[in-house]
């Protein structure tokens, strides 16, 4: 349940951040298309994470796979950003949150709680 809650929180914050970025870019003349694409990508990732979290609350194994894939992709992306952009420790707090979420998802007790 903790992993599902973290997924929903990550997802909803991603949706919110993505929408905010898209709105900001749309109101900036000339409209930078790449900014809108980045915002849409963040919102899309947030939507997938939210769906995975809700599916986990319903104890559906398919959503466990979606959650693991979503968190693994997000964690890999964040690690890439930290390596490329050399972000400070405060900005890398997402690594800890994504890592904890993935660890909770991969725990044997989590998989055991899902019906086959």
**pLDDT given at position 95:** 85
- From the list 75, 81, 64, the residue with the least C-alpha distance to 116 is 64
> Which positions of the chain have pLDDT values less than 50?
none
**pLDDT given at position 90:** 65
CB 46 within 8 A of CB 12: yes
Cα 63 to Cα 8: distance, rounded to the nearest angstrom: 12
């Amino acid at each position: 349940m903790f992993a599902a809650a973290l997924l929903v929180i990550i997802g909803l914050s991603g949706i919110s951040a993505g929408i905010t970025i898209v709105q900001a870019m749309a109101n900036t003349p000339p409209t930078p298309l790449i900014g809108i694409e980045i915002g849409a990508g963040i919102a899309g990732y947030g939507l997938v994470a939210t769906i995975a979290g809700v599916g986990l609350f319903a104890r559906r194994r398919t959503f466990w796979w979606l959650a693991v894939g979503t968190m693994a992709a997000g964690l890999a992306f964040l690690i890439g950003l930290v390596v490329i952009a050399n972000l400070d420790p405060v900005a890398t707090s997402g690594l800890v949150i994504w890592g904890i979420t993935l660890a909770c998802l991969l725990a044997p007790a989590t998989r055991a709680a899902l019906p086959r």
